[in-house]
Amino acid sequence: MSKNIILTNQEIEHKTRRIAYQIYETFVDEKEVVLAGIAINGFVFAEKIAQELKKISPLEVSLCEVKINKQNPELPLQTSLLKEQYANKGLILVDDVLNSGTTLIYAIRHFLDVPLKKFKTAVLVDRNHKKYPVKADFKGISLSTSILEHVQVVFDEDGNSYAYLS
């Protein structure tokens, strides 16, 4: 399988910064927001957005790691924050790639049990192959791919990130 790079490290940085600005514009009236990143890559992406938000806004940003069983998403998911810690706040659910929408819709279902001021979703890559009526409010790129193609996002320890199509 060959790798077709669809986002370079610099492009991911630009998209992350743009999403951070969009989040700030949407949550400008809030004092605090919670970025809930779906483990593993969604949480890494949420951390990157949080770093940008801290540079450009006075928002207090809390990070929450969301662990969901992607093979069996109807199982209860775990969050690194207690429900009381994100109740009545603005929350952005973050993932790296929106494929069929299964992971995102089950994660959204979890957060609907908690009263939130605003609830939005953010993804780096939106693939347009949804099984569920879920959308990304903030997205880096929309990509029309065949069902046989796969999008992978790599966030390495050296800060050299990229996304590719295989």
**pLDDT digit string, tens, across residues 57-89:** 999 999 999 999 989 999 999 999 999 999 999
Rounded Cα distance between 20 and 53, Å, is: 5
Query: Per the structure block, which two tokens stand in for 111?
Result: 């957060």
Per residue in 123-140, is it b (16+ CB within 10 Å) or e — as a string? bbbbbeebeeebebbbbb
3-state class (DSSP) for residue 93: strand
* pLDDT tens digits, one per residue of 107-157: 999 999 999 999 999 999 999 878 888 999 999 999 988 878 889 999 988
Q: In this predicted structure, what is the pLDDT of residue 17?
A: 98
Q: What pTM was estimated for this model as a whole? A: 0.95
Q: How far apart are the first and last CA of the chain?
A: 6
Q: Cis ω on the peptide bond leading into residue 40 (within 30° of 0)? A: yes
Angstrom distance (rounded) from CA 151 to CA 3: 10
- Tokens 């966030």 locate to 155
Query: What tokens appear for 4 in the block?
Result: 């077709």
- Note the pLDDT of residue 161: 94
Q: Name the strand (E) or helix (H) holding 52.
A: helix 41-56
Question: Tokens 């993932």 belong to which residue?
Answer: 95
